Structures are given as structure tokens and as C-alpha cells.
Amino acid sequence: MASRTIAGKTVQVNEEGFMTNPSEWSKEIAMEIATEEGIAELNEAHWKVIDFCRQSAATSGSAPTLRTITTGAGVSTKELFALFPKGPAKKVARISGLGKPEGCV
């Protein structure tokens, strides 16, 4: 298991760069990862999705799928792709400090 420093905090990551311990996550880490993913600023809609994903993962033990996110967070697939372009389930999982969602390549 590797580690890296994000927003001044050393966190554990896997070989794909996903955080492996959600309790190490912070909003500052989320903002830095979002910037790395090409999202300049996280707005209220982003946080609504991120918060839902973290709550869902705390209950289920894994990052939610695209369908779970759209249903649970109340955003359309189109909105989700606008908020997190090019692979929204994977991007939001990374930004949320969660593992890679099942079914993502």
C-alpha cells in the first residue's frame, strides 16, 4: 500500500490512487483532488453528490455506482456528467475519499 500527501496530509492510497481509508478524508483533500481531476471549484451541487456518496459508502461499505448516485442524490445522469465529466462515478469516488466503484473500468 502506498501513501501520498494531499492538502498537507499523508493518506494511504491504492495503486490507482484511490484513498483506502475514508476516515483520512477531509474537505481540503477533496478540493485538491478535484483540482487534479480538472474541476476548478466544488460548488453546492458537487458537495451534495459528495456528501451522498460518503453517507452511502458508510452504510454499504463501498462507493456507490452511477445509478445509486443519480437515484440517491437526486441528480440526473446528465447533471452528474456535467458536474464530474468523463467518468463521474469514478471521479466522485476519488474526490470523496472512497474506493473505486464496482463495475468501473
Write out pLDDT tens, residues 26-53.
Answer: 999 999 999 999 999 999 999 999 999 9
* Cα–Cα distance for residue pair 7/70, rounded to 1 Å: 29
Give the amino acid at 17.
G
- Within 10 angstroms of residue 13's Cβ, the number of other Cβ atoms is 18
Whether 105 has a pLDDT exceeding 60, the answer reads no
- What tens digit of pLDDT does each residue of 50-100 get? 999 999 999 999 999 999 999 999 999 999 999 999 989 999 999 999 988
User: Could you list the active site residues?
Assistant: 104
Give the residue carrying C-alpha cell 473500468.
105
Whether 7 has a pLDDT exceeding 60, the answer reads yes
